[in-house]
With several copies, the nearest count.
Chain A
Amino acid sequence: MGNVLGIINLINEKPFLKELTQHRCMASVPFGGRYRLIDFTLSNFIHASITKVGVFTKEKYRSIMDHLGSGKEWDLDRRNGGLFILPPVHPDEKMKGDLEHFYDHLEFFQRSHEETVIISPGYHVSKMDFNDIMAKHKADQADITVVYKDYHGTSVEKPIYHTCTFDEEETVTDIELYTSPVPGEHVCLETFVISKKLLINLIINCVGNGEYDLIKDAVKANLHTLRVKAYHFTGEMPFIHSVESFHSGNMAFLNPEIIRSNFYDSWDLYTKVKHEAPVNYGLSSKTSNSLIANGCEIEGVVEDSILFRGVKVHPNAIVKNSIIMQRGEIGEGAYLENVIMDKQARITKDTVVMGGFHPKVIKKAEII
């Protein structure tokens, strides 16, 4: 594409994932045995040949800086374009909204040669074809294209999703902010296509008027003056808004068809390379319906689980329906069920940890 600037907007992240986002932003949460949530959006950008990406960060972004590094793994270590991490400019003041942050970095937009901007959050687990979205945006001659998906998740208690309605020509007629959608409702994925020129104008005007919220003040408020079109995203995508939905969103990948469609079919998912050795299965290992990343050493039983890189399962340990993040270690004879274990945590010999409907979260580097 070459003419599109990709923006990953981490400003509006909510603390849905509790302990998992205690020391990292949501975009940086590990997912799928080997990835961070942000890898999905970044990879989608790459597949659309977007070569300039700005990541607008708010807080707890050190792990995202570590993860992204020079951008080499995403081929974004470029002289022209490449990866830009844009931290808050006034860290000592409370940020009023994403538009304020965009305004503080207005030069970044102004100096970019790209004519079109795609804005997306950093936590969507999806394979989204931005070339197709762009094509519709052009064909529609839209000012803004709003990407939506029919809600299919379990019902949410708190009103956290924005839903949109549109007419038969897919012109967006309304956006309802902070709702609890029922299945089938059109959830706005906070993913937009917009010309850079219009975006800059909207940023300047809104901030000038003391308005700081992209979706509310720039998009919704202009539905009747701008040509705002909807794009229906029909691909796979779990709605992640709680520890439970994070767990089930991971577990959905325990399915060769889903694995194939997300990881193969010439749609590589890029992430940081760690040079771990192939998984070493011992004589007493027993693994079933699980996704196992490299560097693991398995001597116990692993069922219906996802093991990140470098996890050790000692003999007679049993891991069921759990997510074990990087360098976790399960001691001899331990029993885990319905658990999400953050990085570098360790379960000692013969310990039993069980979650119920709410998976039990074991914190980073915790020893139980």
Chain B
Amino acid sequence: MVNKKWIAMLLAGGQGSRLGELTHELAKPAVSFGGKYRIIDFALSNCTHSGIDTVGVLTQYQPHLLNAYVGKGSAWDLDRNNGGVSVLPPYQGKNGGHWYEGTANAVYQNIHYVDQYDPEYVLVISGDHIYKMDYTRLLQSHVAHGAHATIAVIQVPWHEANRFGIMNTDTTDKIVEFEEKPDQPKSNLASMGVYLFNWKILRKYLIQDEQNPVSSKDFGKDIIPKMLADGSSMYAYRFDDYWKDVGTIQSLWEAHMDLLGKNPAFSLNDQKWQIYAGNANHPPHYISPGAEVKQSLVNEGCIIYGQIDHSVLSYNVQVGAGTTIHDSVIMPNVTIGKNVTIERAIIANNAVIEDGAVIRPVKQSDDIILIGDRQKIFTHI
């Protein structure tokens, strides 16, 4: 067994209840994204590109699809004999079973998993953000600072800073204070939910935190503040590329719109940093005579007779003649009939939209419309 310099623990347990029907039957990291991917693909691909070959995926809520999707990990080159990707659900030991109680507890319950690789560093990331990040730079910064923990941060607009965990740093980027969703933020450096720890130190804190009866057993709420309070050497690592939390229908839709255009805010077609996806075997898509596709991303397996403008179409989507789709996100295996109108909507997997249906907000300023999994829509909505 070759020991590992670092491994990643990917938090994929959350239900993501603000995504409504999208997470009815699957965990948030398994939600479709970008016409081809699932949200978790971004974190997993980042690991692969950063040379991390051992990833523990901590999962609890509706793990089957995620389990089947991650499989043996070959899509991300994580089907390794030593290491690779492991889905880590809760379990029963001699003293009965425990569901994961918080993010820190989830890692605590898998200390033995981490220990078997004896890593120097552990990267803790979450499976619900859209970004391309080379974690090796974070590691370099961590080592250069001789830090106990390094937290990746991104500048957010000042008026949104109160929605994030905010880092207050000194001039060397050493973290001096951490505030979870502060009313009066002193900085706009928000935590991206990407933490690098020296394993020996984190291990100690996890065990300590577990014995604290009032702890919520969460990295942001408990572990980080405690380490800070103890005077640990903690640094911020500034990330200045695209990063988006897709925790709501609105932000999920926005992130899709960010993919479109000639120079999109976030490009998926990056040969040096491909995003890997599982089960990616579909035929080329077919655009019929009379169809019109502009400013859009269309994935394999689609058959298009209608007009698509400024939208994202996932695999195996069928669009009938006379149909127009604007500013929308169509998830996999959706069948859309003829003369349908879809605007500012997200249509979830396997939905069926019958001929002539109209799906659009009453007013342009209204919320994005969500059509849930396997729904069948006959007419106006």
Contacts and interface: CB of A to CB of B under 8 A. Distances in A.
Interface string B83-102: 00000000000000000000
A294 interface: yes
A102 to B, nearest CB: 25
Given A259-B303, A269-B283, A291-B286, A280 B82 contact: no
Contact of A282 (B82, B262, B284, B292): B262
Given A80-B77, A282-B294, A283-B262, A292 B287 contact: yes
Contacts of B295: 281-283
Interface residues of A, number: 52
B117 to A, nearest CB: 12
Contacts of B75: 79, 273, 275
Contact of A33 (B2, B48, B80, B284): B284
A166 interface: no
B184 interface: no
A280 B263 CA distance: 11
Nearest to A82: B77
Interface stretch (B269-277, B339-347, B348-356): B269-277
A137 B78 CA distance: 30
Interface string B39-57: 0000000001001000000
Q: For chain A, what secondary structure do more than half of its interface residues adopt (helix, strand, loop), or is it mixed?
A: loop
Contacts of A273: 75, 280-281
Interface in A281-295: 281-295
A316 interface: no
A75 interface: yes
Interface string A303-322: 00011000000000000000
A84 to B, nearest CB: 15
Interface in B241-264: 262
Contacts of B77: 78-80
B269 A288 contact: no
Interface size class of B (residues with CB under 8 A): 35 or more
B11 interface: no
A279 interface: yes
B280 A275 contact: yes
A149 interface: no
B283 A34 contact: yes
Given A75-B81, A291-B284, A297-B269, A281 B298 contact: yes
Contact of A289 (B276, B289, B297, B314): B289
Interface in A252-305: 254, 256, 259-260, 262-264, 266, 268-271, 273, 275-295, 297, 302
B287 A263 contact: no
Contact of A266 (B3, B35, B275, B294): B3
18 contacts: A2-B51, A72-B81, A259-B286, A270-B281, A275-B274, A275-B275, A275-B276, A277-B269, A278-B268, A279-B285, A279-B297, A281-B295, A283-B294, A285-B294, A288-B288, A291-B285, A291-B286, A292-B287
Sorted from nearest, which 3 A-B pairs have the closest CB atoms?
A: A33-B284, A263-B283, A277-B268
